[in-house]
Amino acid sequence: MKTVDGRNGVHEMPGEERGNSEVRGGRYGEEDGGAPGAATRLGHPRSDLLVLLVGTPLLGLLLGLALPPFARWASGSPVLPWRDGIEFLGRLDAPWQLGLFVAAGLVAGVLLVLAAHAEEMSLTLTDERVEVVRDGRPRAFARADVSAVFLDGKQLVLLGTDSGELVRGAHAPRAAALAGAFRAHGYPWRDSDPHAALFHRWIPGTPDLPAEVHALLAAREAALKRKAPRDAGDLGGTVRELGYVVRDEGTEQYWRPLAAV
């Protein structure tokens, strides 16, 4: 069942399997071209995943081959810190030990792939709506409810018709792939934030903001400093309900009032 938030056009969607190619299907598809009006899935580039899954075991193999001889050579130095540890590395040249290096590299590659999927969002575009999956939570926004799409540093941002942020998060696809896919489906892609000039750095106690917003931004600053992005995001959503948008540069916060589009 879908639930609809009439204020910002959010539809909660049941989970579904996502493609993991950078651009897949749809009118901007690189794999099959897709039929006009078909969905375009934006996720992690397969080449990047392949580099992690193949490159990390290969790196483990290279370390297993190169590290023991180097450690044996280095152990001949008369002045050597951590001599016991380096001499131990020099003895790691048995075939089964080399296999451990490769296995450790493979495990590291799998963990990196899983971390990349967990941290970055995937998207599915059609001419009618965009679906976003982040932290395992799928959401959908109607095309008519999206007033601007742009990149803010390494984050993809979708703005609603009240200029508030519908989505902000790290993206896996390259910038050119994102721009091409959104434009192909008729979304208002922008080269930068159209409301950037309205932002002000947050200064505690400034009379330009209500006391309630100051309290929320103070709590949000604490969340940023303790590296709790989910808490910071929830507090930012509450700030929006009070009529303001907040974005970050490190632990510094910048705010602006909502601006009707």
Question: For the residues 233-253, what does the mean pLDDT come to?
Answer: 92
- Cα–Cα distances (Å) from 205 to 44, 53, 209, 218, 242, in that order, read 42, 50, 8, 10, 17
Q: Tokens in use for 244?
A: 């303001």
CA atoms within a 13 Å half-sphere pointing along the CA-CB vector of 71? 18
Q: Tokens in use for 82?
A: 């951590």
Spatial contact of 122 and 184, defined as CB atoms under 8 Å apart: no
Any bridge partners for residue 244, and if so which?
A: 257
Q: For residues 88 and 147, give the distance between their C-alpha atoms in angstroms, rounded to a whole number.
A: 61
pLDDT value for 108: 73
- Residue 225, classed as helix, strand or coil, is helix
pLDDT value for 19: 35
Read off the pLDDT band of 103 (50, 70, 90): confident
pLDDT value for 186: 94
Where is pLDDT greater, at 171 or 215? Answer: 215
Q: Does 143 score more than 70 pLDDT?
A: yes
pLDDT value for 254: 96
Read off the pLDDT band of 201 (50, 70, 90): very high
Q: Does 149 score more than 70 pLDDT?
A: yes
Read off the pLDDT band of 156 (50, 70, 90): very high
Torsion of CA 22, 24, 27, 32, to 10 degrees: 130
Q: For residues 207 and 231, give the distance between their C-alpha atoms in angstroms, rounded to a whole number.
A: 25
- Cα–Cα distances (Å) from 127 to 39, 47, 67, in that order, read 8, 27, 54
Torsion of CA 23, 20, 129, 147, to 10 degrees: -70
pLDDT value for 46: 62
pLDDT in tens, 5-20: 434 444 444 333 333 3
Spatial contact of 22 and 45, defined as CB atoms under 8 Å apart: yes
